[in-house]
Amino acid sequence: MAAIRAVVFDLGHTLWDFAPREDARRLTALRLHERLAAALGGDVPPPAALDRALNATVARWLESWNSDRLEQPPSERLMSEALATLELTPDDGLLRELTRIFLAVEVDMPVIEPDTLAAIAQLDERGLAMGCVTNTILLEDGVFDLLDRLGLLRYLRSVVASSAMSYRKPHPSLFQRALRELDVTPAEAVFVGDRLVDDVGGAQQIGMRAVLTHQYRQEPLDGSATSPDAVVRRLSELPAALDRIEATA
């Protein structure tokens, strides 16, 4: 196998976990209500009703990700479906505005560990190219904003969000775009994620090597048809895991 030149990460439950912020959700619902009222006038459902409709629709979308269908519709459709449950049908321009209010920033607070940041800095010092591939309903601008606020964007030369790709992992197109942007072959790249099918299997099917992290989620390996090249308990163990992968190649 070729030497490792690049590492590509999943984001949620891999680089960070989430701490919900109820105040951020309420503020978003209020902003949506104000924009709808200004545009439509008349009776607009209260912010709490908007919040319930959106959360129910998000839950329905995420539940559908357990199926084998990997196509991902544009995030505007999520907003449209949620508003339709409230008998609201905004025009395309307003729909785009509302979607940006709801999905241009992450409303859950990411929690990233200091030793994870140290491990990423260590990989950067080694000269490894890094990127990320994430399944998300968050708009791509929102992913960039979140990475920037966490101080991670300076390390990542490629950022691939499923919301901008029409597909979600494990579809090969997401991994292939990251490899093109990092200018490496599949054999020269390692993917790091918390899900056996989406992350490990998706990367391996195009020829990448893959590391499974158990830091925030623990998928059992027993009985699985997918076998990661390494398993780490924390991202701080990743530099050593990459050394072992190269040594056994």
Domain presence at residue 114: yes
Paired tokens of 54: 């959106």
DSSP designation for 232? E
**Same domain for 177 and 158:** yes
Structural domain ending residue among the three candidates 60, 86, 103 = 103
Report whether pLDDT(217) > 80: yes
What DSSP state is assigned to residue 127?
T
How high does pLDDT run on average in the chain? 94
The pLDDT tens digits for 191-215 are: 999 999 999 999 999 999 999 999 9
- Asked if residue 134 and residue 76 are part of one domain, the reply reads no
Tell whether pTM > 0.85. yes
Instruction: Tell me, yes or no, whether 84 and 145 share the same domain.
Output: no
Residues 88 and 205 in one domain: no
Structure tokens at 142: 């929102």
The answer for residues whose C-beta is within 8 angstroms of residue 164's C-beta and 6 or more apart is: 139, 140
Which among 81, 103, 125 is the end of a domain?
103
Report, as an integer, the average pLDDT of 102-121.
90
| Domain assignment of residue 92, given as a range | 21-103
Q: Quick one: which of 163, 155, 157, 205 has its CA closest to 178? A: 157
User: Does any domain span residue 63?
Assistant: yes
Residue 5 has a pLDDT of 98
Identify whether residues 117 and 49 lie together within a single domain.
Answer: no
Angstrom distance (rounded) from CA 236 to CA 220:
20
Which pLDDT score is estimated for 3? 95
Closest CA to 28 of 56, 42, 9, 48: 48
Q: For residue 52, what is the domain's CATH number?
A: 1.10.150
CATH number of the domain residue 134 falls in? 3.40.50.1000
Same domain, 201 and 86: no
Q: Examine the domain organization and report whether 139 and 216 are in the same domain.
A: yes
Q: How confident is the model at residue 135 (pLDDT cuts 50, 70, 90)?
A: very high
Residue 61 binned pLDDT confidence (cut-offs 50, 70, 90): very high
Do 69 and 155 lie in a common domain?
no
Same domain, yes or no: 150 and 220: yes
Judge whether 1 lies within some domain.
Answer: no
CA dihedral of 224, 161, 208, 9, whole degrees rounded to 10: -80
pLDDT of 100 reads: 96
3-state secondary structure of 203: helix
Residue type for position 162: S
Ranking 55-64, 68-77, 101-110, 122-131 by mean pLDDT, the lowest is 101-110
Which range of 108-122, 142-156, 173-187 scores highest in mean pLDDT? It is 173-187
- Domain total of the chain: 2
User: Are 119 and 224 part of one and the same domain?
Assistant: yes
Least-confidence region, from 23-32, 78-87, 155-164: 23-32
Give a yes or no: residue 186 inside a domain.
yes
Q: Is the pLDDT at 108 greater than 80, yes or no?
A: no
3-state secondary structure of 45: coil
The helix or strand, by DSSP H or E, that contains position 191, with its residue range, turns out to be strand 189-193
24, pLDDT greater than 90: no
Q: 3-class SS at 186?
A: helix
**Low-confidence winner among 4-13, 14-23, 109-118, 172-181 (lowest mean pLDDT):** 14-23
Helices (H), the chain: 22-40, 47-64, 75-84, 92-103, 114-125, 140-149, 172-182, 202-204, 238-248
> What is the chain's Cα-based Rg?
19
Q: Looking at the structure, do residues 164 and 207 belong to the same domain, yes or no?
A: yes
Please give the share of the chain, as a percent, with pLDDT higher than 90. 85
